[in-house]
Amino acid sequence: MKTAIHLALAGALVGACGSVSTGDKPGAPTITTITPDHGPVGGGVQITIAGTGFQAEGGEPLVLVGGHLSTTVTATSDTELTFTLPAGDADGVKVDVEVASQGGFATLADGFRYHARPIVLAISPTIGRSAGGTAITLTGRGFQADDAGVPTIDLGGATATNVQIVSDTQITATTGAAAPGTAAFTPRDVSFTNANGSHTLATAFSVTAPGMLAIERGEGQSRIFHVDLTTKRVSTVTAAERKLIGCAVSPSGVLFSTTGQSSGNTPHQLVTVDPLTGAVTVIGPLITPDNVPHGISALAFIANTLYGTDSGCCAATQHLVSIDPATGRVTILGSQAPLTNGNAIAAKDGASLWYANNSGGALFSLDVASSGLAPGPALTGSIQPNTVQGMVQIADVLYLGERSFPSTILTVDKNTGVMTPFASMPVTINGLCPTPANF
């Protein structure tokens, strides 16, 4: 008694050849081996069957794999035929292979195995730099087995490079540059394709964008926020490993900050911070050569020189200082009257800083050679009394932060002192700086 598959084959042979016997006859096909005996569930590869009876009268035989008919079959001899593997219904399973000719039918039970499709379970980290170059790790399965080959990894339109297959369950790669206009901090799909199929991990990876970083005035940890200067959208990037005070970015793209006690005689420390992971690296204590500790409330780079202002936690008076980025050593600059406790600075030009304090209510120019203050326009607008914290100049626009909860970032007209609200922060901030060039 013939199976339904055999009857279907018989019908196909009738259509192709005019007539067929449903009973096996002398010269009926046989199957000895199938090479290879496994292949991708999507089909499309060439398979060879060795056996007999493949060139019976009536044209080429028919081949079914797991009940699916191959559209391309060629009997190269009476003992060998080739066919194009049809797509399967399920991956990672064994299926029957059947050959039908005018002479009859042959079946090799569980004669072929469809490969398991790859599956991506996770990606780490889940955020990368829009400029590319972020090292990522994918975990899942089906990355190496069954001649999976080197995959293509697409992260929302950016193709990964330097793909390395670590094992069947792990792959490392490097992100490519995001396409222009890619929305920052918006999760995108991760698409993975190898020789055995494709899989998509939905809304799993985001990218950064140039703009501004805002540092939270946290207790045990400080969160790092991104402010999009075009859309004004505020996004949480990560939480730093320590409480951070102030921030500045060096010409080489390193994010510097300080950390330490908010009061007492414990010296603060100069640190660098990875703005994506929050990892903090301690450079050294903020002390003068005679071991006097200093707390720093504001930072700014002019070229490769790092400047800071005292926070009032440790020193008796507050001055402009320079800080060695390699050691944290502090040098007090100038002999002018001390600065006020609580202030903000930003690079103005090659010889001076913008300076604002909590009590003066004005925008000053601070000469880095003499520490001399040249008063500028009075600050008017939305700033609240005694709340200055964080200032940065980006693309000739001066931004100033309020130290309040919630905080407001304002733009400052450098000629008139008029301040205009720019973005609202859901936390109290104590530092503003540009994003690093490779952010």
Please report the pLDDT score of residue 384 as a whole number: 61
Q: How confident is the model at residue 388 (pLDDT cuts 50, 70, 90)?
A: confident
Query: 43-57, 65-79, 146-160, 355-369: lowest mean pLDDT where?
Result: 355-369
Mean per-residue pLDDT for 381-409? Answer: 84
pLDDT of residue 21 exceeding 70: no
pLDDT of residue 13 exceeding 70: no
Q: Is residue 240 part of a domain?
A: yes
Considering the domain architecture, whether residues 33 and 148 belong to the same structural domain is answered as no
Considering the domain architecture, whether residues 427 and 310 belong to the same structural domain is answered as yes
Please report the pLDDT score of residue 311 as a whole number: 65
Q: Is residue 324 part of a domain?
A: yes
Q: How confident is the model at residue 261 (pLDDT cuts 50, 70, 90)?
A: low
- Over residues 306-317, the pLDDT tens digits come to 999 876 555 556
Among 153, 181, 207, where does a domain finish? 207
Q: Is residue 439 part of a domain?
A: no
- Over residues 186-241, the pLDDT tens digits come to 899 999 999 999 999 999 999 998 999 999 987 788 999 999 999 999 999 999 98
Please report the pLDDT score of residue 16 as a whole number: 39
Where residue 314 sits, what CATH number does that domain have? 2.120.10.30
Considering the domain architecture, whether residues 363 and 238 belong to the same structural domain is answered as yes
- The C-alpha angle with vertex 147 and arms to 176 and 39, in degrees rounded to 5, equals 120
Considering the domain architecture, whether residues 411 and 297 belong to the same structural domain is answered as yes
Q: How confident is the model at residue 180 (pLDDT cuts 50, 70, 90)?
A: confident
Strand order of the β-sheet with 73-77 is 30-35, 46-52, 80-84, 73-77
Q: How confident is the model at residue 318 (pLDDT cuts 50, 70, 90)?
A: confident
Please report the pLDDT score of residue 206 as a whole number: 93
Among 180, 207, 234, where does a domain finish? 207
Q: How confident is the model at residue 335 (pLDDT cuts 50, 70, 90)?
A: low
Among 207, 239, 259, where does a domain finish? 207
Considering the domain architecture, whether residues 357 and 388 belong to the same structural domain is answered as yes
Considering the domain architecture, whether residues 30 and 133 belong to the same structural domain is answered as no
Please report the pLDDT score of residue 162 as a whole number: 97
Please report the pLDDT score of residue 22 as a whole number: 40
Domain limits for position 259: 212-434
* Spatial contact of 45 and 84, defined as CB atoms under 8 Å apart: yes
Please report the pLDDT score of residue 1 as a whole number: 35
79/111 Cα distance (integer angstroms): 17
Where residue 186 sits, what CATH number does that domain have? 2.60.40.10
Average pLDDT of every residue of the chain? 87
- Over residues 86-129, the pLDDT tens digits come to 999 999 999 999 999 988 999 999 999 999 999 999 999 999 98
Q: What percent of the chain has pLDDT over 90?
A: 64
**Domains: count for the chain:** 3
Q: Is residue 301 part of a domain?
A: yes
DSSP string, 304-327: TEEEEEE-SSSSSSB-EEEE-TTT
pLDDT of residue 14 exceeding 60: no
Please report the pLDDT score of residue 337 as a whole number: 57
Sorted by sequence, the CB contacts under 8 Å of residue 205 that are 6+ apart come out as 123, 126, 127, 128, 136, 155, 156, 187, 188, 189, 190
- The C-alpha angle with vertex 312 and arms to 374 and 247, in degrees rounded to 5, equals 75
- Over residues 54-86, the pLDDT tens digits come to 987 778 899 999 999 999 999 999 999 999 999
Considering the domain architecture, whether residues 388 and 338 belong to the same structural domain is answered as yes
Please report the pLDDT score of residue 265 as a whole number: 53
Considering the domain architecture, whether residues 221 and 198 belong to the same structural domain is answered as no
- Over residues 368-386, the pLDDT tens digits come to 988 888 989 998 886 565 5
What distance separates the 2 farthest-apart alpha carbons in the chain? Answer: 112
Considering the domain architecture, whether residues 180 and 284 belong to the same structural domain is answered as no
